[in-house]
């Protein structure tokens, strides 16, 4: 990767917002739309894909509108491509050329065919670029991972999974082996991933039951409950998950289900469960996890955004609270990929002249 500036990649659109949010085609961040078979020709490093499937969900539907809502949320405020993060000091668009590749073909009523179409679309992107996929229900992660792994010839992958649920059911929640509660088991049964290379962050509540967790323990899988996240040092959780995911593997996939969040902060999902992560925890862990991984052998999806249940979103014309979080996570992922690409722990954030906290002068009591 050559050292580039966003102006070199995107021209004046890197820093100038050239149209209001209600104008134009709402691609992700209003980035260029590139056909999937032309990513290499257009020198695209990261390909965004929508996977608008929700017929494998088992409770509240609506995630078929997730990709549209996340794209809409990404245009608020009307963005230039420049996204310099004031906390991490990095702009992913100074490093990567990113394009929106549209949506995978979905066949309403034919869940399995839709998943195979998603697999083909991710395969095509992964031959040329790093895939970032916007769901859709969580069943899409199996075809995401399978297409990505096959395109790159990965035999053993690591998986870091943020979720309220383990999704390791033999036949999901209702007897369908490809539903959104069974995709981890499908990846495991295909021998794409060993249990010791899997870490789940944020489970809580009442599903799956003890038998499934016993099987996970026997398979050497590991999990940190939502309460563990609240009580432990986040860096320790990140370090363990990364070490497990990279131990003897070819590549790492990170999957983020928005129901891992406390529903007060992310209500727009089909399976809300009280007691989840808060945004600062989620953003920090995603940043640190991705920063520690090789961006050349990496993939990411964010799933289960269901805008019908979101706040401040009645039409998906400009997104809601939950779709806004998903949008933010994607940008954070790309920023951490850029840091990893440059071999940096942090970028160059702009700091105040004075150190943070009270100054020595302020700490000295005034003379009587």
Tokens 């999704």 found at:
167
Question: Does 163 show up as a binding residue in the annotation?
Answer: yes
- Token digits for 181? 């509660």
Question: Does 91 show up as a binding residue in the annotation?
Answer: no
Sign of CA dihedral 232, 218, 137, 48: positive
Angle, helices 279-291/321-342, rounded to nearest 10 degrees: 30
Q: Which of 122, 103, 106, 135 is nearest to 256 (CA)?
A: 135
Which ranges constitute the DSSP H helices of the chain? 6-10, 66-74, 111-126, 141-152, 183-189, 210-218, 226-231, 234-246, 279-291, 321-342, 360-363
Question: Does 165 show up as a binding residue in the annotation?
Answer: yes
Question: Does 167 show up as a binding residue in the annotation?
Answer: yes
- Give the separation between CA 157 and CA 293, rounded to whole angstroms: 12
Question: Does 259 show up as a binding residue in the annotation?
Answer: yes
Instruction: Count the neighbouring beta carbons within 10 Å of the beta carbon of residue 362.
Output: 7
Question: Does 161 show up as a binding residue in the annotation?
Answer: no
Instruction: Count the neighbouring beta carbons within 10 Å of the beta carbon of residue 315.
Output: 10
Instruction: State the burial class of residue 298 (Cβ atoms within 10 Å of its Cβ: 0-12, 13-18, 19+).
Output: buried
Q: Which of 326, 306, 319 is nearest to 61 (CA)?
A: 306
- Token digits for 51? 């996977």
Residue list for the binding site for Mn(2+): 138, 163, 165, 167, 257, 259
Residue list for the binding site: 138, 163, 165, 167, 257, 259
């Amino acid at each position: 990767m050559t050292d580039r500036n966003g102006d070199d990649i995107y021209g004046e659109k890197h820093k100038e917002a050239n149209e209001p949010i209600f104008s134009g085609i709402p691609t992700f961040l209003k980035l260029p739309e590139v056909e999937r078979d032309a990513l290499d020709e257009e020198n695209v490093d990261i390909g965004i894909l929508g996977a608008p499937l929700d017929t494998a969900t088992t409770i509240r539907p609506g995630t078929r509108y997730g990709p549209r809502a996340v794209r809409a949320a990404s245009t608020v405020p009307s963005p230039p491509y420049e996204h310099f993060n004031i906390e991490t000091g990095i702009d992913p668009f100074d490093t990567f050329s990113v394009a929106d590749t549209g949506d995978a073909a979905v066949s309403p009523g034919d869940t399995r065919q839709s998943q195979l179409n998603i697999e083909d679309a991710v395969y095509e992107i992964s031959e040329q670029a790093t895939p970032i996929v916007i769901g859709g229900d969580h069943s899409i992660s199996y075809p995401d991972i399978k297409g990505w792994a096959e395109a790159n010839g990965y035999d053993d992958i690591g998986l870091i999974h943020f979720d309220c649920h383990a999704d390791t059911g033999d036949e999901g929640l209702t007897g369908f082996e490809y539903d959104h509660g069974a995709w981890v088991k499908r990846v495991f049964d295909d021998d794409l991933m060993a249990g010791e290379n899997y870490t789940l962050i944020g489970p809580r509540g009442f599903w799956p039951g003890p038998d499934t967790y016993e099987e996970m323990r026997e398979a050497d899988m590991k999990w940190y409950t939502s309460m563990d996240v609240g009580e432990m040092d986040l860096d320790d959780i990140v370090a363990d998950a990364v070490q497990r995911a990279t131990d003897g593997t070819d590549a790492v996939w990170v999957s983020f289900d928005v129901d891992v969040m406390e529903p007060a902060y992310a209500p727009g999902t089909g399976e809300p469960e009280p007691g989840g992560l808060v945004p600062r925890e989620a953003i920090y862990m995603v940043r640190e996890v991705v920063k520690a991984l090789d961006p050349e052998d990496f993939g990411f999806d964010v799933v289960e955004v269901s805008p019908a249940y979101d706040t401040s979103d009645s039409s998906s014309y400009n997104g809601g609270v939950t779709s806004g979080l998903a949008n933010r996570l994607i940008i954070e992922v790309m920023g951490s990929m850029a840091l990893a690409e440059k071999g940096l722990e942090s970028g160059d954030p702009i700091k105040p002249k004075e150190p943070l906290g009270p100054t020595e002068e302020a700490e000295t009591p005034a003379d009587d």
